[in-house]
Structure 1
Amino acid sequence: MTPHHLHATAAALSLGAARGALAARVRAERRQRGEALTAAGPISSPRYGTRRVVGGHADPVSATLVLDRTPARETTWAEVLRRSESRLAWIAQEMRAPDPHRPALPRIIAGIPNLRPANARLIHLHLTGELDWLGGLPLGWTPVRHPLGSVPCPHCEERQLVVQADGPEHAWTVVCATRRLCTGTGCGCGMPGAVEGVAHIWWRADVIGAVAGAAPTHTE
């Protein structure tokens, strides 16, 4: 998979963790009827304006993201969860994710590897926007991040790597805290499908395997 696919996967896994915290709030709300919060308005576009549909014959991802200026209102955690589920169902439908009878987020995660790079980038933007929206609510949740200080970055060789540890361990990814961008083909990052201008990201297993002298474990 390309960096776009890895970034989308990492965002989806963090979103799963955030939604776990949201579900816990819903359960508590059901126990304590009447609890309410001031929620942010519906998701806003990562950029202003509207994008046209982008995608191939089997990979039609709608890129329409319209800025929403809906004012905040009083709502419940259950309503926030329903809104999130609706949004994810729309994303899954737009990317034609497999297994339509399964919950939306697992479908999205399963479908990401099949996306073309440009559409994986768009899905990453959608998921990041949703994650930012949930992250702005008082869920008591933060992404799980672990420093990997003993390992040099495959690109810059500085020891500022961070493991993005939401989701199952085999799907953890690594980014560099320096936030230096990939230079594309010929970049020293060693990432298959390197994309110029995209933040570096690797599978954790590949970074650890490279240090140990092992072959990369991910070949998608």
Structure 2
Amino acid sequence: MHPHILHALAAADSLRRALTALEASAKAAADGAVDGSRIDDVAIPSQVFGRRTALGGHGDPTAALALGAWAPGGPNPDAQLLGDLMRQLDEMAAHVPGANGQDPLARIRLHIPHMRPHIAARTTQALTHLDGQARRRLQMPPDQQPLAGECPGCRARGVLYVATCGPEAERTVVCGAGCVCVGDGCRCGMPTREAGVAHIWDHTAFAAVGVVAGNAPTGTTN
């Protein structure tokens, strides 16, 4: 799989985790601001898991109505940010196949493996930007786990991380030192080498090059 595709999938999984946490924080703030019976009456479905009526976009109620129901008479910054992020995802999802009203992030992720590399790279940038907004709001660090050994690309030690957001079989390994592929002849061992792309390995590829580099395969670090 092309490294731009792997980066885009990892970005989508990271954003999913951040949106889930942001939604939980918004609901917790609402629970503390209004009577519990009022929340039950509103019955706002989950925006993150595909029931597209929580915070606007193509669903209803509108974002303004949902925010007012969650925190009448006062702002809910987490809910406001969640609504803003979901509206931006709606705009992105309008460019990929799928019906309006479906979970936009799920639509985008489903289409990523079919994207051209340069489109996947732009998708990574957009998703990473949204992910950063949510994580800064929550002071939430990246979901990653250190991996022992040296990077097959730059040979630095203590710089490898396993992204732990996605399904276990689809987790990727990245170099925290920011080393990039030099294209043909790069010693990184990525199945598809692309000059200028930050090194990233899927589970299978890293298990192959990681053993040679003296690292434990990703399956042993979970």
Q: Distance in 2 between matches of 1:212 and 1:75?
A: 49
Which residue of 2 is the match for residue 174 of structure 1?
Answer: 173
Structure with the larger RCO, 1 or 2 (CA within 8 Å, 6+ apart):
1
CA contact (8 A) 1:11 1:124 kept: yes
Q: Distance in 1 between matches of 2:211 and 2:148?
A: 15
Unpaired segments of 5 or more residues in structure 2?
35-74, 213-222
Identity of aligned residues (%): 36
After TM superposition, give the deviation of residue 186 of structure 1 in Å: 2.2
Change (3 A) 1:98 1:190: farther
Which residue of 2 is the match for residue 157 of structure 1?
Answer: 155
Unpaired segments of 5 or more residues in structure 1?
35-73, 214-220
In terms of fraction of residues, the more strand-rich structure is 1
CA contact (8 A) 1:153 1:161 kept: yes
CA contact (8 A) 1:145 1:164 kept: yes
* RMSD of Structure 2 on Structure 1 (CA): 2.1
Which residue of 1 is the match for residue 78 of structure 2?
Answer: 77
After TM superposition, give the deviation of residue 203 of structure 1 in Å: 0.9
After TM superposition, give the deviation of residue 125 of structure 1 in Å: 1.1
Output aligned runs, 1:16-165, within 5 Å.
Answer: 16-33=16-33, 75-94=76-95, 96-98=96-98, 100-137=100-137, 139-150=138-149, 152-159=150-157, 160-165=159-164
Count residues with an aligned counterpart: 171
Which one-letter code corresponds to 1:84 in the other structure? L
Q: Normalising to structure 1: TM-score of the pair? A: 0.70
Change (3 A) 1:106 1:211: same
Q: Distance in 1 between matches of 2:117 and 2:17?
A: 25
Q: Normalising to structure 2: TM-score of the pair? A: 0.69
In terms of fraction of residues, the more helix-rich structure is 2
After TM superposition, give the deviation of residue 212 of structure 1 in Å: 5.0
After TM superposition, give the deviation of residue 105 of structure 1 in Å: 1.0
